Structure 1
Amino acid sequence: MRIGLDYRTVGTSPQSGISRQVYALETALRALPQIELERFTVAPLGDASRLQAHCPSWGCAKTAMHQPHNRLRFEAGFLPRALREQHIDLYISTFNMGLPLPPKPKGLRTVVLLHDLFQITLDNYHANRLKALIYKTSDRLSIAWAVRSADRVWTPSQYSADETARLFPEAKAKIRVLPNQVDGFTGLPADLSARQLPKDYWLLVGTRELRKNVPFWVDAWQRARRQSPAVPELVLVGSLEHLPASQRSLPGIRALSGVSDAELHALYRQASRLWQPSYAEGFGLPVIEALSVGTPVAVASGTSLDEITPPSAPRFSPTDGPALVQLMLDLAQRPAEDAPEQCRQWAERYNPGAYRRRLAELIEELQ
């Protein structure tokens, strides 16, 4: 079976969460018997990646690959012919959209990896309202086309599967759950002494997207700190610029950007707890990463975080500030609910072996 893999996200943001899943998918597919894998992407002229993937003759800046006109040029003008010439049996799009436009090559089957639907259900950061409208409209059309035309829709959580079925009920029968792979950390954690971090701190990872709900959480944390000195200081992986100006200089808060994997490993290990306050989450990678090194977590309820988090972990409403303050006061005074080994055991359900087994089932279904 010859499989084509959409590799555009890797070129745009090679360290992103979506790209990590592309790497995991690629590695798992190459390990399956009787599979031949080919990459398809856009790249600048002269870029080394053009030697490792099928690319159109025209070039494109890495930062412009997902602009609507470049997507259309690739998906309509290049991809159908390239898939036909390479005799691809199955094409997998990896970023919510991106399937080839008609005419579809004869015998081709397609899969769209739908991480979430927040591109079309929530407001996102854009330079201006016109750009936001253009992107939201094109994303809505692209995602709708991908979901309706694909032979299968793979989502990383049952929450995302249910949301897809709610918005596109005609696609319900072809939706499958493929939980994300979380590799954990293989190398040694970095020495963080130069960062001069507090001995005891709570950790949040990711500040940019509105759905991460960080200002709401920081407000509750500030109120809890005023009531009890036992509430730890806060370390954010991200930028304070994504917080309201009134929160950026609060005592006990600091943000770290440009964090390496080894530093992130150490930050998780040294944190007394990871918090994930998102009101919309398609999977929740930081939760599993924290659990994989034995760090307890507390998460907002109502999305995929409910299913990927151990039942014993504390949960809170992403809109009830007073209840969150009380939870913080309670957790600051009592030991963690799960031992580190229990946290690590839970995270194992998302390891590479589990991912490969589930992927093999889904590929077999399409053969």
Structure 2
Amino acid sequence: MRVGIDYRPVTAAPYSGIARQVLALEQALLAAGQEVVRFSMAPAAHPHRQLACCPEQAVPAQGLHRPRARLAFELGFLPGALRREGIGLYIATANSGLPLRRPQSLKRQVLLLHDVFQLTLPGRHASRLRGAVYAAMDRFLIGHAVRGADAIWTPSRFSANEAARLFAGAGARTSVLPNAVSPLAVPDAASDPLLPARYWLVVGTREPRKNIPFLLQSWQLLREQGRALPALVLVGDPADVPVELGKLPGLHWRSGLTDAQLSRLYHDAERLWHPATAEGFGLPVIEALRCGTPVAVATGSALDEITPAQALRFDPLDPASLQQALIAALPGRLAEEKPEALQAAAGVFGVAPYQQRVAQLLQELQR
């Protein structure tokens, strides 16, 4: 059976978390002996025009998510392309993306549903009108995909439960496929000379659910009270937080990092903090653990599932809980978390277990 996968996330943002999961899925399908056909949109000279089935019309990579382009692809191009390519199984890889007209030749269609935050939480948009348009589009396209999928694969039980809560009948078709976390790049030989010797790390600041102001406020308060909390390094954009918080003494912002530079930050950090109020998986947590770096995570979402039992935890809505965790994370207050144990805990999310799980889910589809 020829398997088609939605390759648009890789074309649009090849280094994003979703794109990395699409690439992992592609390799897992190939390892399982499947013939894989990629479907995407791309600019005129983009190399994916040689790698994937694309409509003739060129589309800027940064415009693949726009409503007109998405509808043209999923309604106008994809149904016929799937039929012409003889695709028996099609996998939509970015919360939606199944053909709006399912061709009769398509025996199975699967939705890779990373999370449902587009439906349950506010996002960041340039204007209220733009936000309303994208919200309406997400409701329609995600709803169509969830209802039309023969199987739904989510990276966590948390996301599976949320899908079942929002869509009647989705629970019976949903299976957990934990994300694949590949080994990080070899870290840069030298640490960033502009960073202090001791620091805590935060990776990802854009969405409001990342809850970064909550962390910064408690961190600042304790430092003002004389607590010797380390500096914070945030991989993100200062514009993601209020101006007065983005310029606090002891904050160091980084963006546009290479894989080797990010790996260096993970290895050098005393601890990774992940204060999100909602998370469908939590890739930075596993990446930190892969480096042997301890983590401190918010409770109440998929972070509960992926972190080892001994991980430091706090309530993402309770400042007192976070402040207690910040103090507890200071040297000498917790039992030593050995790097080998942390790396072993992250190993269950490696490439080999992921490929085994994909092969199992494919067998279930065939049955």
Give the TM-score normalised by the residue count of structure 1.
0.97
> What is the CA-CA distance between 1:192 and the residue it aligns to?
4.4
Residues 1:236 and 2:199 aligned together: no
Query: In structure 1, what is the equivalent of residue 359 of structure 2?
Result: 360
Question: Once the 2 structures are TM-superposed, how far is the Cα of residue 139 of structure 1 from its aligned partner?
Answer: 0.5
Among 201, 213, 216, which residue is 2:214 paired with? 216
Tell me the residue number matched to 1:100: 99
**2:28 aligned with 1:20:** no
- Note if contact 1:301-1:317 (Cα within 8 Å) is conserved in structure 2: yes
Q: Quick one: distance in 1 between partners of 2:336 and 2:226?
A: 20
Please say if 1:10 is aligned against 2:10: yes
CA–CA distance in structure 1, aligned partners of residues 102 and 340 of structure 2: 53
Q: Distance in 1 between matches of 2:208 and 2:148?
A: 30
Task: Determine the structure 1 residue equivalent to 2:178.
Answer: 179
2:254 corresponds to which of 253, 256, 265? 256
Matched, 1:288 2:273: no
In 1, distance between residues paired with 2:342 and 2:305? Answer: 14
8 Å Cα contact 1:80/1:105 also seen in 2: no
Structure 1 residues 318 and 287: CA distance shift in structure 2, 3 A? same
Would you say how many aligned residue pairs link Structure 1 and Structure 2?
Answer: 365
What is the CA-CA distance between 1:105 and the residue it aligns to? 2.8
Contact conserved, 1:24 with 1:181, CA < 8 A, in 2? yes
Aligned-partner SS, 1:350: coil
SS of match in other structure, 2:152 = strand
For 1:140 and 1:236, locate their aligned partners in 2 and report how far apart those are by CA, in whole Å. 32
The question of whether the paired residues in 2 share the 8 Å contact of 1:190 and 1:265 is answered with yes
Gaps of 5+ in 2: none
TM-score for both structures, normalised by structure 2: 0.97
Alignment partners' CA distance in 2, 1:193 and 1:25: 33
SS in 2 for 1:90: strand
Letter in 2 for 1:176: S
Give structure 1 stretches of 5+ with no counterpart: none
Matches for 1:1-367 after TM superposition, within 5 Å: 1-33=1-33, 35-185=34-184, 187-333=185-331, 334-335=333-334, 337-367=336-366
What's the secondary structure of 1:91's corresponding residue? strand
1:246-283 superposed Cα distances (whole Å, 9 cap, x missing partner): 11221111101111111111111111100000001000
Counterparts in 2 of 1:103 and 1:345: CA distance versus 1, 3 Å: closer
Identity of aligned residues (%): 50
2:88–2:105 CA contact under 8 A, matched in 1:
no
Contact 2:83 2:106 in 1 (8 A): no
- Secondary structure of 1:236's counterpart equals strand
SS of residue paired to 2:348:
helix
Task: Tell whether the 8 Å contact from 1:192 to 1:263 is kept in structure 2 after alignment.
Answer: no
For 2:75, the aligned partner's letter is A
Q: Secondary structure at the match of 1:332?
A: coil
The alignment partner of 1:169 has SS state of coil
Distance (Å, rounded) in 1 between the aligned partners of 2:307 and 2:255: 26
Q: Secondary structure at the match of 2:3?
A: strand
Runs (4 or more) in structure 1 with deviation over 3 Å come to 191-195
